[in-house]
Amino acid sequence: MKKTIGILGGMGPLATADLFRKIVVMTKADSDNDHIRIFIDNNAAIPDRTAAILRGGKDPTEEMASALRNLEKCGADCVIVPCNTAHYFIPRLQEMTDIPILNMLEITAREAAKRFPGKKGAILATTGTLSTGLYDRALAAAGVETVVPDEAQRKTLMYLIYDVVKASRPLAEAAEPWAKLLEELRGRGADYFILGCTELPILADNLDAPGPFIDPTSELAAAAIRFCGYEVKE
């Protein structure tokens, strides 16, 4: 029996739309009826995760749990969360439900080890994600060597994520700092780039800067498709 997906979204809305689109595009289907049933709670009221982790901001768990309850009521067989930083709170959410929450970071780490054995991946993420060591631990467990952005590079990432993508600014504004950031990290030994914030694939997909990239949003989409008993389009 085919299963259904619940997307716990709103972090941010564009990243949520990106995940939904990738599931649809990546699913092997010959007609509308061949696609997966997907429930989405685009809860934009979820407090900022980085602010909660670093600055004592409002705990996002309550609003995330509200969305989780809605997805349970809809009948979702699995839940996916298109926000890397939010995975800091996933263990608490998983305790609240019997529905499996697929872990984007662990899925990405396994793919990095498979695609780039012996290579170093630069972790591109919010200061919240980087400060928790979430990706460091997941990648280390998979045997992946990493390059972590320095303080100046973290500020550039936060500008790109918050002041451009989340602020719905023209992506062209990000072209120069994005290319410069990648070149700096390549100079520090990075062989490829892990797009560890769900806003960053939007830049990588639309700006002309060389990778290679690993897109956790795409990896999460593929894992969810397979979980539900469907095939990923080659």
Residues labelled catalytic: 83, 197
The 3-state secondary structure of 36-82, one letter per residue: CCEEEEECCCCCCHHHHHHHCCCCCHHHHHHHHHHHHHHCCCEEECC
Smallest CA-to-CA distance from 221 within 203, 193, 201 is with 201
Residue for token digits 């499996």? 100
Question: Using CA atoms, how far apart are residues 176 and 180, in angstroms rounded to an integer?
Answer: 6
Q: What angle do CA 151, 103, 14 make, to 5 degrees?
A: 65
Question: Using CA atoms, how far apart are residues 82 and 216, in angstroms rounded to an integer?
Answer: 9
Question: Using CA atoms, how far apart are residues 115 and 97, in angstroms rounded to an integer?
Answer: 33
Smallest CA-to-CA distance from 215 within 230, 227, 197, 231 is with 197
Kind of pairing between the strands at 5-9 and 120-124: unpaired
**3 state DSSP class of 194:** strand
Contact 88, 64 (CB under 8 A): no
